[in-house]
Structures are given as C-alpha cells and as structure tokens.
Amino acid sequence: GYVVLNNDWVPNGGLENFGSSFLPAAYQATMLRPSGEPVDNIEPSDPIGLQQRKLALLAEQDHEFAQQSADANAIEGAIANYETAFRMQSTIPEIADISQEPEFIQKMYGVDSTDEHQQLYATQALRARRLVEAGVRFVEITCPSFDGNNSPWDQHSQLKTNHEKNARVTEQSVAALITDLKQRGLLDETIVIWAGEMGRTPHTPKISDSCGRDHHVDGYSIFMAGGGFRPGFAYGETDEFGNSVVHNQVDIHDIHATILNQLGIDHTALTYRHGGRDHRLTDVHGRILQDLIVS
C-alpha cells in the first residue's frame, strides 16, 4: 500500500501528487488526517460478517463485468480498492492511535511539544513507524503548512526565518524515526528518504532579512538511511558556490534505479504498458550507485 500523512493540506499540483497516473487506481495513495477520524467512513456501517458477504457479491459481479469490459484494468483496480478499504477498517484506527505508545517514545518524537506544528509532525512520524510495522510498503510524510503556505519549503522570501521554522519542526521527529526503526531492527529493511524535487539557488537578488531564493536543480542535497545504504558519508560535490555538481553527479533516475535495486527489483525490467509502449520508472536512463550500498 501507499499511505500519505499529509497534515491536512494538499501541495501545489493537487491530489495528482499522490495519484497513480496511468497505473491502476489501486496504486494511488490513501491519505490519513493528522487528527480526528483518519479516513472518512472508517467505521463499518454493517457487522463484519454481513459486510464481507456484500463485498464478496460485489467482487463477483465486478469480475464478471470486467471480463466483458474494454477497460478491465480500471475495474480490477476498483475491486482492489474495495478490498484495501475493508482491510483499512480493521487496522487503521488502531495504527493511528499513538496513545498506545510509551510516554518516553512519544517524547522522543516530540509529541509533547508546545509547538503545534512540531506536535503534528511528530505524530505523523510516529504513525509512519507504526504503519511500517504493520506492513505498509510506502509511507510519505509532508511538512506542516505555515501561514497558509501549501509549499512550506518553497521560500522565495523570508528564507532564513521559514527554513529555521521547518527545521525546528522536523529535525527531532526525523532523528527519532530513524533511531526507533534501528532499535526495533526495522532500519535494515526500511529505506528512509529525506528529499524534495529541487534545492534553492546559492545566490539571491538582494541581501535583506526578508530575502528568499529561487528553484535550483543543478546541485542540491538529499539524505537516505537504512535499507542497506552506507551510513555516515556524503557522496558528490558541488563547486565552491554550491551552484553545480563538479564530482560524482547523481541524476534522479540513478536514485530510482538504486532504490529499486535495494528492493530487489531490476529497474530495466520493471515496466508498465501504456500508450503503446513499455514505460520504465527510470525511462531509458539510470545506473545503480554501488558506492552508496553496503558491500
């Protein structure tokens, strides 16, 4: 499954950020709210036995319809979504309830913070660990929104002030998540990726307390932990200004190829037919970054 802990906001680009594109609908994300009922209609309206019989009848009819339909994939995707929704009803309420966690674990993540944004992010990070323990394959956490900004890292102004806010909100919970996974023996089989789609330019049009920086794709940093990746080192270098890569350049396709390798998947063989051709996550690019992997 794919679960997004999205902190009650949707980033620029809308829900397509978490969608399945041309893949079956079963691969789109399920979003959990940070407070209150995590998912709409999570409480079943019928007793479990009756609900199971209804779903079995519905699935049988859908399968028959799919065999006669020109778009069987869409119908099979809908069936898979029904099955996922049923499983969620029995597991999500328990997973989302972090009150079951010991007080010292909650404090380690920062759930007791007096900062509402940090408390929110800490709750989501702790839920992420519980989701991983429950077998969810892909969990995404987004940074809480400040001042109505639905892209809280996109600082075209007030960069110093707002990046400091973001760092204060997230750093304790991220460190706690990695520590917690390691202590539970889960880090070796879990990849933690802290990343965005771009960095910020190393220069600004003017020097002032309110200045910001623009989008920058020619040299920026991410970090990865666990999942068989080498710990405690930096790979790649930029020039002295941080403007562009001068050594060990890494492309996003390389990152995808390497992550898939750690999941036991050959990125050149993972394809999905759409529009008359076999699409790859890495397109026609991508190399496995062996220097990043524990030998």
> Alpha-carbon torsion 109, 111, 117, 121, what sign?
positive
- % residues pLDDT > 70 (the chain): 86
Q: Output 253 or 26, whichever has higher pLDDT.
A: 253
Question: How much is the pLDDT for 124?
Answer: 94
pLDDT tens figures, 31-81: 887 777 777 656 666 676 776 787 778 777 777 776 666 566 666 666 676
Q: Which residues pair with 273 in a beta bridge?
A: 278
> Within 13 Å and on the Cβ side, how many CA atoms surround 206?
6
Give the residue among 183, 190, 181 at the shortest CA–CA distance from 226: 190
Contacts of 268 (CB under 8 A, 6+ apart): 280, 282, 286
**Confidence check: pLDDT of 187 > 80:** yes
Which has the minimum average pLDDT: 31-40, 91-100, 190-199, 210-219? 31-40
Neighbours of 141 (CB within 10 A): 20
Which has the minimum average pLDDT: 107-116, 142-151, 207-216, 255-264? 142-151
| Cα(150)–Cα(168) distance, integer angstroms | 18
Angle of CA points 142, 187, 198, to nearest 5°: 35
Question: How much is the pLDDT for 148?
Answer: 66
**Confidence check: pLDDT of 235 > 70:** yes
**Cβ 181 vs Cβ 166: under 8 Å:** no
Question: How much is the pLDDT for 225?
Answer: 98
Helix (H, G, I), strand (E, B) or coil at 225: strand
Q: Rg (Cα) of the chain, in Å, rounded? A: 21
**Confidence check: pLDDT of 274 > 80:** yes
Reported as type and span, the H/E element at residue 278 is strand 277-280
pLDDT tens figures, 214-230: 999 999 999 999 999 99
Decide: pTM greater than 0.95. no
**Cβ 275 vs Cβ 248: under 8 Å:** no
pLDDT tens figures, 159-183: 888 889 999 999 999 999 999 999 9
Mean pLDDT of the chain: 87
Contacts of 31 (CB under 8 A, 6+ apart): 3, 4, 5, 6, 18, 39
What six digits make up the tokens of 249?
């350049």
Which has the minimum average pLDDT: 93-97, 115-119, 279-283? 93-97
